[in-house]
Structure 1
Amino acid sequence: MRSRVALVTGGGSGIGQGIALALAAQGHRVAVLDRVEEAARAVADEIREAGDAAVAVCADVSDPGQVERAVAEIGEAFGAVEILVNNAGFAKDNHVLDMPLEDWDAVVDTHLRGAFLFLKATAPAMRAVGWGRVVNISSISAIVDDERVNYVAAKAGLEGLTRAAALDLAPVGITVNAVGPGVVVTRMTEVSAARAGRTLEEHLKHQAKGIPRGRTGTPHDIARAVLFFTAEDADYVTGQVLYVSGGPHG
C-alpha cells in the first residue's frame, strides 16, 4: 500500500472525523478540511499525536475561490490530492411547502455544489498521473425521506454526480464511488432527535427498531467502506453506491 495524499471535507467532526482518522491509520497523509477551523485543527492534531501526517484546512466548500485556495494549500503541504472524500454537509430539514429558499440553497450548495467544485479542482492532477480515488458521502435518505426535501435532493444529486463522473473519469484511472450511511450517531443525530421531540437515547432506540442489524451505525462503520473504495486494488469498482445502513430498510 502506497502512502497517498487524502483530502476529507467536513473532516472536523462526525463521519468525516472517523474517515480522516481511518485514512491516516492506513498511512495516508490527510488534509482535514472544515469550515470550522478549530474543529479541523483538533482532528489534525489527533492524527499527528498518533504519529501520522495531517494538515488542517479551513474553507467553505461551496465557494470556488476558497476551494482553489484550499487545494493549493494542501499541494504546498503534501503534494497533489490523490484521494478525495466529499463528506461536508449539514441538514436544515423542513416540509417541502415550508422550505425557505435560503435553506434549500445552503444544503444543496454544500453537499452537491461543494462535491463538484472539489472534484473539478483535484481531478486534473489525478488524471495527470493516471490514478485517483473519489468517494462521495451520500445517505440512505437519497432514496426517500420525509420533511427534508433539500437534503434528499442534494444526496440524490450526489449519487447522480457519482455515476456520471465515474463514466467520464474511468478511462484516465480515476474511480468515483459513493457511500450512503444509514442512521449514524454524530452531533447531527441530536438535531434529528430534537426535531422528532425525543431525547437522544429515545431517538436511538426508536431508530434501531427499524434497522435489521438491530443497532445504529458509527463513523467507523462508514470509514471502513471508504477504505475499501480508496484501496489500491479497488480500481475495477467505480460508479457504485454502497449503502451502509445495517440492512435494507425504509
Structure 2
Amino acid sequence: MTMSSSSPRTVLVTGAGGGMAAGINARLAAAGHRVLCADVSGEGSERAAQAVRDAGGRADAFTVDVGDSSSVRALREEVARAAVDVDVLVNAAGILDRKFLVDHDDSSFERTIAVNLVGPFRMIQAFSPGMISRGWGRIINISSIAGVTGYAYPSYAASKAGLSNLTRSLVIDLWGTGVTVNSICPGVVDTPMVIDAVREQIPRKVPTEEIIDPAEIGALAAFLISDEACNINGANLVIDGGATSYFQLFDRP
C-alpha cells in the first residue's frame, strides 16, 4: 500500500465553485476520486466540474444552497435519482460577512450562521445515513482558525467555532459506524476572498511568511479520506503556517 492510498470514492463537495474548493476538487480528482461539485451557483458548479474533467478527472455538477433546507433535500433526492452513493462529504460552502458587531442586523448574522454552520449540519443529516448503512464514510468540515482564536467579524467567528465543536460532538452520533468526522481549520488561504490588506500582513502575522495554497487544503482532505487516516476522528486540524501559535503582544521587529 502506498502512502495516503485509498479506494476510489465518490466525494460531494459543497461550495465547489469557490477558490478554496478548486484546490480540493483538483487534489481529490487527482487521487482517483469522483467529485460531485455542488454550489449555490449552477454556473459555478458546472465550471468546477469542467475544470476537473479538463484535467482528466471524473466530476458531476449539482446546485445547492446549503442555507436552505428545501434545497438540501432537493440535492439529496437528485443524487439518489442519479443512483450515486456519496462516500465522502466535504462541507466547503461558506460566506464571510465583513461586518462588526454594530453593523450586523438579524438577517445578516443569521445568514452567515445558516450557511456556515446550519448548512453543514443539514448536509450531514442528509448524507450520513447512506454512509452509515454502508459501514464507511468520511465527513470533512472546512472550518477556520477564526473559530479557534476569535475574529473581528463575529458572525464568521461564531459560525466557525460552532462548526468545529459540531465536528467534535458528532463522533458520538457516529460511534462505531465506520464514519469519521473531522474539520480542517485553515489560516489565510490564497483565494479571491482575501483582501490586499490581509495579504500585506502575512510576513508579520504568519511564521512561515506564506499564504496557504488551496492545493494544501486539498492534500489534507485527500489524506483524511485515505486508509492511513482511519483513526483520525473528531479532530480540528489547523493549517495556518503557525499563525495561531504566535502570541503577538508587540509587532515583530
Pair in the same fold by TM > 0.5: yes
Counterpart of 1:249? 246
The answer to whether structure 1 residue 238 and structure 2 residue 233 are counterparts is yes
* RMSD value, Cα: 1.4
| Alignment match, 1:116 | 121
The whole-number CA distance in structure 2 between the counterparts of 1:111 and 1:164 is 17
* Residue in structure 1 matched with residue 34 of structure 2 by the alignment: 29
Do residues 45 (structure 1) and 40 (structure 2) align? no
Whether contact under 8 Å (1:5, 1:78) holds in the other structure is no
Q: Which residue matches 1:184?
A: 189
Quote the offset at 1:23 in angstroms.
0.9
Given that 2:186 and 2:238 are in contact with CA atoms closer than 8 Å, whether structure 1 keeps it comes out as yes
Q: Return the letter of the residue paired with 1:176.
A: V
Question: What does residue range 149-164 of structure 1 map to in structure 2 within 5 Å?
Answer: 149-164=154-169
* Match status 1:144 vs 2:149: yes
How many residues are treated as equivalent by the alignment?
240
* Contact kept? 2:11, 2:36, Cα under 8 Å: yes
1 CA distance for matches of 2:198 and 2:119?
A: 30
SS where residue 237 of structure 1 aligns? coil
Higher-RCO chain (CA-CA 8 Å, sequence separation at least 6): 2
Of residues 89-98 and 23-32 in structure 1, the stretch that sits farther from structure 2 once superposed is 89-98
Match of 2:8 among 3, 15, 22: 3
1:224 equivalent to 2:219? Answer yes
CA distance in 2, matches of 1:208, 1:84: 34
Letter in 2 for 1:188: M
Would the alpha carbon gap of residues 39 and 226 (structure 1) be closer, same or farther in structure 2, given more than 3 Å must change? same
Residue 62 of structure 2 aligns to a residue whose secondary structure is strand
The one-letter code matched in structure 2 to 1:216 is I
After TM superposition, what 4+ stretches of structure 1 lie above 6 angstroms from structure 2?
Answer: none
Hey, what's the Cα distance between the residues in 2 that align with 1:221 and 1:169?
A: 27
Q: Note the residue ranges of structure 2 that are not aligned, 5 or more in a row.
A: 1-5, 248-253
CA-to-partner distance for each residue in 1:85-122, whole Å, 9 max, x for gaps? 00100111222233211111111000101000000000
Residues 80 and 122, structure 1, Cα contact 8 Å, conserved in 2: no
Q: Per the alignment, do residues 231 and 78 of structure 1 end up closer, same or farther by CA in structure 2, a change over 3 Å counting?
A: farther
CA deviations 1:106-163 (Å, max 9, x no partner) are: 1100010100000000010000011000000000001234431000000000011101
Structure 1 segments unaligned to the other structure (5+ residues): 194-199
Structure 1 residue 223 displacement after superposition = 1.1
1:205 Cα deviation (Å)?
Answer: 2.5
